[in-house]
Structure formats: C-alpha cells, structure tokens
Amino acid sequence: MVVRYWREDPCTVLHVVGDLDVAAAPRLQAELEQAIAEADPPNLVLDLSEVPFCDSVGLGVLVATLNQIQHMRGRLILVLAPGMIKHLLTITNLDRHFETTDSMNAARTALGTAA
C-alpha cells in the first residue's frame, strides 16, 4: 500500500493505492492519525479510488476514523470508484454514515475548495 497526503485548505487529502487489508491497515491508521493531528478541525478527503480490496480490519480503520473525526466536529469524505468498497459499505449499511463521492473534484466541491 502507498499512502500520500497533502494539505488543500480547508482540508487534508489522503490518496491510497493498494489493498486495505490486515497487513496495510496499521500503516493507513498511522497516516490518518498524523493527518488528523495536523488539522483543526480535521476535514479529510480519503481517496480510495485505487483501493481494489478492503477487509474487515480495513473497514474498522475507516469506521474508527469517521468516529474520531465526527467527535472532533470535522468531516470525512471518501472518494470511491465503483467496486468492492462501495459494495462493502452498502451491504454493511455503512453507506448511510459515510459521505462519499465518485471523484476528487466532487469532494473538493463538497468542501468548498473547488479548484
């Protein structure tokens, strides 16, 4: 898994490439914690459009991150391509809790940072 993140006021963007599984989840968790610590409030765009697979551990990282950001009165937007993660959120009814878009431009627009 490769994770890059950068600041685009008023949000932080994390772009993830590769499987989000038990082996990669700790790395993503560490990157998310760092990004959240640097932002006030933590408005994150998590681009998962190049993540083909997510297991239960990866899903747990996403849920824990959402809870933490909501507790801090921030916002989390997931950028998702059609496929496994969208389906996983739907079958677990988590699609009702996560804010999702299908592109970075849509996420930027939602946060008022359209380029």
Whole-model pTM?
0.93
Domain ranges of the chain: 2-110
Q: What is the pLDDT of residues 57-89, one digit of tens each?
A: 999 999 999 999 999 999 999 999 999 999 999
Specify whether domain 2-110 bears CATH 2.40.50.100.
Answer: no
pLDDT score recorded for residue 20: 97
- Identify the sign of the CA torsion 53, 105, 4, 111: negative
pLDDT score recorded for residue 115: 46
User: Which structure tokens are listed for 69?
Assistant: 């950001």
